[in-house]
Amino acid sequence: MNSEKLILPSPRRSSWQLPALVGLLALLWLLIWQQLQTLADWLTYTLIGLQPDTRLGQSINFFLYDVPKILLLLSGMIFLVTIVRSFFSPERTRAALGGRREGIGNILAAGLGVLTPFCSCSAVPLFIGFVESGIPLGVTFSFLIATPVVNEVALAMLFGLFGWQVAGLYLSTGLVIAVVGGIIIGRLRPERYVEDFVWQIQVGQQGGVTYKPTWDDRIREAGHSTKEIVSKVWPYVVIGIAIGAVIHGYVPEDFLAGIMGSNTWWSVPAAVILGIPLYSNAAGVIPIVYALMEKGAALGTVLAFMMSVVALSLPEVLILKRVIKMRLIVIFIGIVAVAIIFTGYLFNLVIG
């Protein structure tokens, strides 16, 4: 029997059909995007018949405008990010980081942390794989900090609600925190805190297979992860925006200036500490925070809160307990938390 004959060609549509479908969807996306405000206004003021100057009218309008807007942005963003990430892999990242020194290594690791597709359940094998191939622990931590800080769901929501400046600010400070945090951890001789068994694992050589996806594969994969993530976070988005809408319509202006304004020194650390245990609701927290900012909360405080919600999620950090001692986990959380607090103050000082 000839084995080659048995490998059936997979049934694939010809190569122009999927990209054409993507183009069509993108066009439709743009069309809806442009009509969002018109649509929300029509629904609120014409169909439901509310008055634009009433509180209820404002709340409902906020909700009907922001829910479709954020969901559109989320789908577009996740699709694009998945396409970009399909060009990277943890194995390739490890090869790129091998032999890099502190500094350049940390910067590269933070950047690759954003671009490498990575699920939290791969954190432990990735950590061991990095360590075993001789990548310094500080560089490994730059990677591990950057991965969650720059989260595509958070970025899409920041972009949608706050605009590209705030989203860009968030992205760049996230990267800086990853680089600096990794360098500091690297200086603390963290090897002491790595579990002994990690050093004994023999990492094998991966032979033959390198997966070379076609454009069709990339598109299919992107479509799949878009569906998966959006179907997971949409309830949080809707609930978050609903709460945000109530705040938008009913809480008086400047109500929060006293508690969350830039003149209250303790609001930044309080926001960070509050954010650490909150995780799964990152999608729901951002619209609430957006509405709070309208009512006088300072940008630095708000950014610090979001970073701590997204970057420092206890369950994900605790997965690393399998490979590093509690001491290092506490140091890790501490350094990132301090870095975020510092960023918050900085922004309140500069912008607030």
Partner 1 sequence: MLQIKVLGPGCANCKRLEQLARQAVEKLELAADIEKVTEYGQILAYGIMSTPGLVINGEVVSYGRIPTNQEITNWLIAAQSEAGLS
Report the interface residues with partner 1, using CB under 8 A: 1, 3, 6-8, 10-11, 89-91, 94, 117-122, 124-126, 128-130, 132, 197, 201-209, 211, 221, 322
The least CB distance from residue 101 to partner 1, in Å, is 22
Q: Nearer to partner 1 by C-beta: 89 or 264?
A: 89
Of 344, 250, 263, 347, nearest to 292 by C-alpha is: 250
> Residues 181, 146: contact at Cβ < 8 Å?
no
The least CB distance from residue 218 to partner 1, in Å, is 11
> Residues 70, 241: contact at Cβ < 8 Å?
yes
The least CB distance from residue 326 to partner 1, in Å, is 19
Tokens of 215: 């454009």
Task: State phi, psi for 340 to the nearest 5 degrees.
Answer: -70, -40
The least CB distance from residue 4 to partner 1, in Å, is 8
3 state SS of 60: helix
Q: Nearer to partner 1 by C-beta: 88 or 342?
A: 88
Q: Nearer to partner 1 by C-beta: 82 or 267?
A: 82
Terminal C-alpha separation, the chain: 75
Q: Nearer to partner 1 by C-beta: 2 or 46?
A: 2
DSSP string for residues in 250-313: HSPTTTTHHHHSTT-TTHHHHHHHHHTT--TTHHHHHHHHHHHHHTT--HHHHHHHHHHHHH--
> Residues 136, 143: contact at Cβ < 8 Å?
no
The least CB distance from residue 315 to partner 1, in Å, is 12
> Residues 86, 117: contact at Cβ < 8 Å?
yes
Tokens of 247: 């705040």
Kindly list the distances between the CA atom of residue 285 and the CA atoms of 15, 163, 182, in Å, as whole numbers in the listed order. 41, 17, 27
The least CB distance from residue 97 to partner 1, in Å, is 12
Kindly list the distances between the CA atom of residue 235 and the CA atoms of 34, 70, 161, 213, 227, in Å, as whole numbers in the listed order. 24, 12, 17, 32, 14
Q: Nearer to partner 1 by C-beta: 8 or 31?
A: 8
Greatest CA span in the chain, whole angstroms? 80
Q: Nearer to partner 1 by C-beta: 126 or 337?
A: 126
The least CB distance from residue 224 to partner 1, in Å, is 9
The least CB distance from residue 142 to partner 1, in Å, is 17
Q: Nearer to partner 1 by C-beta: 31 or 119?
A: 119
Q: Nearer to partner 1 by C-beta: 124 or 251?
A: 124
